[in-house]
Amino acid sequence: MKPVDFIIVGQGLAGTSLAIRLLDAGKSVLVIDEAKEQTASLVSSGIINPITGRRYVKSWMFDQLLSEALHFYRLMERRWGIEVIKPKRVLRALSNVLEENLWSGQSGKQDYKDFFGKIIKDKVYTQAFNNKVVFGEVRNSYQVDIPGLILNARKELKNRGVFIQERVLDSDIHIEDIISIKNYKTKHAIFAEGWKVINNPFFKKLPFDPTKGEVIIADLEDYNLEDIIKNQKFILPYSKGGYWIGSTNENGVDNNLPNAKKRNELHDFITACVKGNYRIMQEWTAVRPSTKQRRPILGAHPSLKNIFLFNGLGTKGASLAPYFSKMLVKHILKGDQILNDVDINRHLF
Ligand SMILES: Cc1cc2nc3c(=O)[nH]c(=O)nc-3n(C[C@H](O)[C@H](O)[C@H](O)COP(=O)(O)OP(=O)(O)OC[C@H]3O[C@@H](n4cnc5c(N)ncnc54)[C@H](O)[C@@H]3O)c2cc1C
């Protein structure tokens, strides 16, 4: 069999965005994914939130990232005739005067004006919760249907005959001038395996910090809000019914097994804060591919120049993947530079 230009290992958000860009650049591609159900991309709520953290600061590189994300996801909407990205208001709980004051202070900053809306004290919102809160409105926020994007891309890859559902083991990879992975031959391999990169023989020494998250999909009897609410945890309508509630954080993990204690944290949150009875519909566990520096890592292996990495999307894959997949593809195909903050070469192996 003739070698393909690229084999991509992993078809989460990272591998999907690369595959689309390489196919559209006229390259031959083969994508290999073990197709597990509870991956970071498939359980993600897909929120793009410009204002984050306890001090309500603008997210890193937000303007550039959002512009490329809107462009890329809208192309995918036209490609498959589906909705991928929609504007969605985030309402951030402010639980005391200090938080309200901080919020008001930040909202007055010149380059923050597009992102801060009004403080909402409307009973429709405040009475949905047991804890005393008002809400700060975050504007220019979005929700991306990441599972929908991945599953539509997988359908296209299968139709093109370039998707293989298998797990890649170390022993399946042989590197020479032509690389072979599971007996498929390629000129270049790109690894986009999410948190499982910690087992990858070429890249496992990089500073990854996999962070496990638990999620609950629940029917909330007396709750009826359409916005994305951040009141300690996120609560937002789930596309297949009920509400997506999450998530938890557990750093430095090496497995994706459910953590009962962390799940209870979500149950306790619902019981304490959300009014009315609830019924659990689903419980999911997945691991975010975070890094110690909280920045993606991309580029070629320092000594094996036909092997590449695209990883470290962490908690913000929805905004990071379009911009940095474009950067990596331009680097590989045209020799364009990779931004220093995310360049694999800034790390020691
Ligand atoms: C609970 C939770 C909530 C989140 N919410 C948000 C949010 O609101 N907004 C946001 O922007 N981000 C969010 N994220 C983060 C976002 O989901 C991730 O940044 C992104 O999905 C990571 O994509 P990825 O492709 O790098 O990894 P993954 O989604 O993990 O994909 C990796 C793929 O590689 C495959 N794979 C791995 N190893 C192998 C192998 N050896 N052989 C074959 N296949 C392999 C896996 O099966 C998987 O399909 C959330 C994550 C979690 C866990």
The domain boundary residue, chosen from 239, 259, 288: 288
Q: For residues 12 and 114, state if they share a domain.
A: no
State whether 136 and 215 are in the same domain.
yes
Q: Is the pLDDT of residue 1 over 80?
A: no
Residue 163 lies in a domain: yes
Mean pLDDT of 140-165: 98
If pLDDT is split at 50, 70 and 90, which confidence band does 253 have? very high
- The rounded Å distance from CA 109 to ligand 1 centre is 34
Find the 223 Cα to ligand 1 centroid distance in Å.
29
Residue 224 domain-assigned? Answer: yes
Query: Which residue's alpha carbon is at the smallest distance from atom 37 of ligand 1?
Result: 193
Q: Stretch 2-11: mean pLDDT, rounded?
A: 97
Scanning the structure block, which residue is given the tokens 């994300």? 69
Q: Is residue 73 part of a domain?
A: no
The residue whose CA is least distant from atom 34 of ligand 1 is 10
Indicate the pLDDT class of residue 149, thresholds 50, 70 and 90.
very high
User: Of 45, 46, 56, 49, whose CA–CA distance to 119 is shortest?
Assistant: 56
Q: Which of 131-135, 203-207, 255-259 has the lowest mean pLDDT?
A: 131-135
Structure confidence at residue 193 (pLDDT): 98
pLDDT value at 349 more than 90: no
Residues 217, 136: one domain? Answer: yes
> Do 94 and 114 sit in the same domain of this protein?
yes
For residue 336, the SS3 value is coil
| CATH number of domain containing 8 | 3.50.50.60
Q: Side chain identity at 208, as an amino acid letter?
A: F
pTM beyond 0.85: the answer is yes
* Minimum CA distance residue for ligand 1 atom 4: 44
Residue 69 belongs to a domain: no
Q: What is the pLDDT of residue 177?
A: 86
What's the CA gap between 18 and 13, in Å, rounded? 9
In a domain, 79, yes or no: no
Give me ligand 1 centre to Cα 32, in Å: 15
- Can you give the pLDDT at residue 194? 98
Q: Whose CA is nearest to atom 10 of ligand 1?
A: 316
pLDDT of amino acid 260: 97
Among 209, 187, 162, CA closest to 311: 209
Q: Is the peptide bond before 247 cis (omega within 30 degrees of 0)?
A: yes
Q: What is the mean pLDDT of residues 278-302?
A: 97
Looking at the fold, whether 120 and 157 belong to one and the same domain comes out as no
- Kindly report the protein residue whose alpha carbon is nearest to atom 21 of ligand 1: 41
| Cα of 280 from ligand 1 centre, angstroms | 23
Dihedral sign for Cα 333, 336, 339, 340, please.
positive
pLDDT of 348 higher than 90: no
Tell me what the mean pLDDT of segment 322-328 comes to: 99
Mean pLDDT for 187-203 is 97
CA 75 to chain centre: 19
Give residue 196's pLDDT band: very low, low, confident or very high (50, 70, 90): very high
Residue 323: which residues within 8 A CB-CB, separation 6 or more? 61, 64, 65, 68, 69
Cβ-based neighbour number of residue 303 at 10 Å: 8
* pLDDT value of residue 14: 98
Which residues are near ligand 1 (CB < 6 Å)?
9-15, 32-34, 36, 39-41, 43-47, 167-168, 192-196, 213, 215, 246-247, 286, 288-289, 311, 313-319
| pLDDT (0 to 100) of residue 104 | 94
Average pLDDT over residues 266-270: 96
Q: Work out the pLDDT band at 2, boundaries 50, 70, 90.
A: confident
CA 127–ligand 1 middle distance (angstroms):
35
| 35 Cα–ligand 1 center, Å | 12
Burial class (CB in 10 A: 0-12, 13-18, 19+), 238: middle
Closest listed residue to residue 230, CA positions, set 43, 38, 54: 54
- The pLDDT, as a whole number, for residue 132 is 87
> Do 151 and 282 sit in the same domain of this protein?
no
Question: Do 217 and 121 reside in the same domain of the chain?
Answer: yes
220 C-alpha vs ligand 1 centroid, how far in Å?
Answer: 27
Domain span at residue 186 reads 4-44+146-208+292-346
In whole angstroms, give the CA distance from residue 54 to residue 102: 10
Mean pLDDT in residue range 13-34:
98
Asked whether residue 156 falls in the same domain as residue 279, the answer is no
pLDDT tens for residues 36-62? 999 999 999 999 999 999 999 999 999
- CATH number at 117 reads 3.30.9.10
Q: 16 C-alpha to center of ligand 1: Å?
A: 11
Position 44 scores a pLDDT of 98
CA gap 209, 247 in Å, rounded: 17
Q: Are residues 226 and 127 in the same domain?
A: yes
Which atom of ligand 1 is found nearest the CA of 16? 25
Q: Residue 45: its pLDDT value, please?
A: 97
Best residue among 18, 33, 138 to mutate for probing ligand 1's pocket (most ligand atoms within 8 Å of CB) is 33
Q: Domain end: 272, 288, 304, which one?
A: 288
Q: How far does the centroid of ligand 1 lie from the alpha carbon of residue 176, in Å?
A: 29
Domains of the chain: total: 2
Q: Evaluate whether residue 303 is within a structural domain.
A: yes
Domain boundary (252, 268, 288) is at 288
Query: Which of 34, 157, 172, 319 should be mutated for ligand 1, with most atoms under 8 A from CB?
Result: 34
The answer to whether position 80 is within a domain reads: no
153 shares its domain with 176: yes
The DSSP letter of residue 291 is B
Q: What is the pLDDT of residue 335?
A: 97
117 within some domain: yes
Query: Which residues, other chains included, contact 271 with Cβ-Cβ below 8 Å and sequence gap of 6+?
Result: none
Same domain for 131 and 246, yes or no, is: yes
> What backbone phi and psi angles, to 5 degrees, belong to 117?
-100, -150
Averaged pLDDT score across all residues of the chain: 96
312/310 Cα distance (integer angstroms): 7
Percent of the chain with pLDDT over 90: 95
Average pLDDT for residues 245-257, to the nearest whole number? 97
- Counts for the chain of helices (H) and strands (E), in that order: 8, 21
Q: What is the pLDDT of residues 88-129, one digit of tens each?
A: 999 999 999 999 999 999 999 998 999 999 999 999 998 999
| 26 in the same domain as 159 | yes
| 3-state class percentages of the chain: helix first, strand second, coil last, to nearest 5 | 35, 30, 40
